[in-house]
Structure 1
């Protein structure tokens, strides 16, 4: 089974439990990899059940925004230091439990303050927080070409494709913006969302992940950016149906969600999230608590839960998980 979600660092081996097969036994996945970036350096750290920890070094000195494309075996990463989007090929062979200097292709330095990435086919969308824009790149045989630049009218952070729709968090708020058929409309320079709703219980959202298998949406809550202990995340089950039932400008009740937050969670500014159905684990990039951590929670966690895993990573900024 292949899982790619929408996306920092090293987790201990125990976070990757064996998966169950149809006969009730256990199997070890062929690949189970958490890709992680940091704003403290340009390393991409990959923790892998099969090969152990790999460190992929790049020429960048600060990264945020990462997505692995299993179909092409390429890793897309946004550089905050050099303000370009990079694509690195032949990743599977380079995740081998060692430190490896990887080389790829960079776009022009078009970005100002890149945050999250989302991939659909040969299109890679970068959310830029300072400009309130989406940058739409096309992956070609020659590299990465910038096409449409879409003004949103609000600060953006996490983004995720849900089918043809782009889900985007509205930074400095508890809102979720939905752009139906985004790529078909990205030539519109100032594009209003089809729907914008409030997620009750969130103070300030940043990270977002969607799992189509479970129809599960996860959004993080950083609370106050100045606090390293008031963060959390929300699990929204039956997500597309719930969201469709909320009118534009309306509020999704917290009673229909599961909130994980509190002193035991070690969350202050959880700025990115990814999810794996096979391992039933929510992975969080926490940038404030302890100077930066990678946290792993059971999908059944709720309230003031203690993470199953807490591993230090200075400047933890984005995560993406792949399993097959």
Structure 2
């Protein structure tokens, strides 16, 4: 049964809009203009404050607009959008299941949306969502065996068929989970409470309920405790977030930008460490990162988007010109209470 509420407060925030026109003069003083339509770029964000879904139109980074869709969830984490199907999905932490919504692109800000594709309520503490075809994987970081001294977690694999979302199988891991992302058919997963990154090769070939160890696990130098991750196949870039000490949610977070990730990862043996000099680290008080729990990346504009859960009560941050790393300020800083997940659609 779905969670209901008597009241929900919607905050619709709008960034200042600046109209820009770019043109160039030829020798004959005629004006050349680009008539090609600009592809829409949208950032979807979930949160653990009210469970609503916030959509940032970042097509023009100098004129970002924000809209909010009202859900029945009270808290949510992993979020995903399929532009071809106009299908929006998030993992509800209050309802402990997946909730899918159709044709949301035509809706105006403040619209209350009803669940069209309702997953079964199997989970205890759903976090990140990763999608591969019609299969949806959700990382659950609840303790499985009831013994906190033995780290473990679960990966729930769901199959989507039309508006039906059904549990296919469950994988128990021997480490605590948080962020997950696909690289082809391989699933990369954060080893929570550590600076480690694990991979399960050909993950979806595991079709029955089982316990499964990672194919390989490495450490990432410079990270205290990683949470979020994203991989871009075209640029071969992996980005990991570092929340630092759990007790400090204000100014000890950061992210690591790793170019040429495939070769760097493949050349490391099991248990080895990826050296800091093979990464770019962005961190410091100016970044406003204290608890960056998730990340999305636009390789075209080389923009990193962060769901920051701690600093200022929660924010959506965006960074560019970060190639040298260091203590740099975000060029987008939008308040979103208890921000928990981001997904970029273009």
Closer, same or farther: CA 280–149 of 1 in aligned 2, 3 Å: same
Q: Which residue of structure 2 lines up, in the alignment, with residue 57 of structure 1?
A: 70
Cα deviation, residue 297, structure 1: 0.3
Q: 1:82 aligns with which of 92, 95, 103?
A: 95
C-alpha RMSD of matched pairs (Å): 2.5
Q: Deviations over 1:206-238 (max 9, x none)?
A: 000011111000000001111021000000100
Residue segments in structure 2 that go unaligned for 5+ positions in a row: 1-11, 23-31, 145-152
Q: 2:86 aligns with which of 73, 83, 103?
A: 73
Q: Which residue of structure 2 lines up, in the alignment, with residue 283 of structure 1?
A: 305
Cα deviation, residue 312, structure 1: 1.1
Where does 1:211-290 land on structure 2 (aligned, <5 Å)? 211-227=232-248, 228-290=250-312
SS in 2 for 1:146: strand
**Structure 1 segments of 4+ aligned residues over 3 angstroms from their partners:** 9-19, 23-28, 49-52
Where does 1:150-169 land on structure 2 (aligned, <5 Å)? 150-169=171-190
Closer, same or farther: CA 74–84 of 1 in aligned 2, 3 Å: same
SS in 1 for 2:208: coil
SS in 2 for 1:36: strand
Equivalenced residue count is: 311
Q: Deviations over 1:261-312 (max 9, x none)?
A: 0111110110000011223210000001111111100053511111111111
The structure number with the bigger radius of gyration is 2
**TM-score, with structure 2 as normaliser:** 0.84
Asked whether the 8 Å contact 2:96–2:123 carries over to 1, the reply is yes
Q: Which residue of structure 2 lines up, in the alignment, with residue 114 of structure 1?
A: 126
Q: How far, CA to CA, are the matches of 1:65 and 1:250 in structure 2?
A: 29
Cα deviation, residue 106, structure 1: 1.5
Q: Which has the higher contact order (CA 8 A, sep 6+)?
A: 1
Q: Deviations over 1:232-259 (max 9, x none)?
A: 0000100111100101111111110000
**TM-score, with structure 1 as normaliser:** 0.90
Where does 1:138-217 land on structure 2 (aligned, <5 Å)? 138-187=159-208, 189-217=210-238
